[in-house]
Amino acid sequence: MKGRKLLMIPGPIEFEPDVLQAMSIATNSHVAPDFIEIFGKSLELMRAVWKSPKGQPFIISGTGTLAMDMAAANLIELGDRVLVISTGYFGKRFKDILDRYGANTTILEAPIGEVVSLDAIEKELKQGQYKFLTITHVDTSTGILVDPKPIAHLAKKYNVLSILDGVCSVAGEELKQDEWELDVVLTASQKAIGVPPGLALLMASEKAMQVWENRKTPVSNYYADWNNWLPIMRAYEERRPSYFGTPAVNLIVALETSLKIICKEGIDQRVKRHQNLAKSFRAGIASLNLEILPKTNTIAANTLSAVYYPEGINGTSLSATMVESNVIIAGGLLPEIKPSYFRIGHMGSVSSNDLIAVLSALERALIELGHPIESGKSLQAFQNGLLKIN
């Protein structure tokens, strides 16, 4: 009998055994030659995963919110106009961060389950002299997927920097930072990157670095200031010891391991795997007459699913019943509808067997709680979906 439960929330996720083993080694000095090699290699591998050979990578101890904070702190000066394109909780969080640094923010909020139209974005860019805009690639609160490519092109058209919150997308959704001309793409370790929580990861374009270098006022966040971190990143990539703040040594060893796993699979193949599993999983969910939060499948994320509870089913009871089947899911996060839906993560090293286990546990929980469904129906729909793809 397995001694642990299957963690199927939208981060932290289930991690590869090799990644966990890498974390368990004796902690090394942060200036030891072998660790410097690991850190430098991690920076190089990030460029491959982000598809940004020209980008400047940063690996900092912290969370995805720190990565958002770092982008804002280094690029915002008092009064700068910023357009926030929001599809949920984390779009609003970005606005809160930007406001803290004195930005003049405008937020375009999509109705629940929808995305902001390109026409609305362009209309707003025409009206104001914006310095940059933010996009949430996948909002973890809603499971909404935004296509950043056309928005990045609009940003370039109006000479606006583009910042992509890729916390729940990098290494799970399609991303071509340099080709799409995204200026900053940030994420965190505990989602599709596949490393336990604790690392903020960010890639800045040459243009973003130039804007930062030309700012007229000092960066107002000491810890997040690229003036402190850029020399460290360059030193490690040149395989030289350096110090500003002690890095999370074991997490970075695990990061290199995971990035190697990702690159061995191939980032395009990895994204395709996420797409195939998510499409089949949504078919399984639909077969149970359950509705997902995104209004259409085309804007549904491939890294997690947000699903409405069926009428008459208590969310707490559903989660508790699934835990009895050794599967852990997440509740809702968006305040307006938090009690009405749940979320299931399917990113990173997720396999078809993991999702079969989730659907099995979900079916049993629904039947036990009195929801009329046909046992095995979602499993059949999921398997048929995979067979069509293959």
- For the chain, what are the domain ranges? 17-265, 266-389
Contact status, residue 285 vs residue 305, Cβ threshold 8 Å: yes
CB atoms within 10 A of CB 299: 18
What is the DSSP secondary structure assignment for residue 297, as one 8-state letter?
G
* 266-389 CATH pick, 3.90.1150.10, 3.40.50.1010, 3.40.1190.20, 3.90.245.10: 3.90.1150.10
Would you say 325 and 364 are in contact if contact means Cβ atoms under 8 Å apart? yes
Contact assessment for residue 378 and residue 276, using Cβ atoms and an 8 Å cutoff: no
| Mean pLDDT of the residues in the chain | 97
| Torsion angle in degrees (nearest 10) through CA of 177, 178, 184, 187 | 30
Q: Which CATH class name applies to 17-265?
A: alpha beta
* Pair 310, 371: CB distance under 8 Å: yes
Show Cβ contacts of residue 106 under 8 Å, excluding neighbours closer than 6 positions: 81, 82, 83, 84, 124, 128, 130
CA 354 and chain centroid, separation: 20
The sign of the CA dihedral 366, 367, 370, 374 is positive
pLDDT at 1: 38
Q: Do domains 17-265 and 266-389 have the same CATH topology?
A: no
Which residue(s) pair with 185 in the sheet? Answer: 164, 203
Distance of CA 200 to the CA centre of its chain: 11
Selection from 81, 185, 74 nearest residue 137 by Cα = 185
End-to-end CA distance of the chain: 32
Collapsing DSSP states into helix, strand and coil, what is residue 198? coil
Contact status, residue 217 vs residue 78, Cβ threshold 8 Å: yes
Nearest CA-CA partner of 139 in 333, 292, 358, 351:
333
* Phi, psi for residue 186 in degrees, rounded to 5: -125, 155
137, 166 contact by CB (below 8 A): yes
- Maximum C-alpha span of the chain: 64
CA distance 25 to 28: 9
Residues contacting 313, CB < 8 A, separation 6+:
366, 369, 370, 371
Residues of the chain with pLDDT under 50: 1
Specify the 3-state DSSP secondary structure of 7. strand
Q: How far apart are CA 271 and CA 277, in angstroms?
A: 10
Determine the residue type at 114: E
Q: What percent of the chain has pLDDT over 90?
A: 98
The whole-angstrom separation of Cα 59 and Cα 67 is 9
Structure tokens that stand for 254 in this block? 């695990």
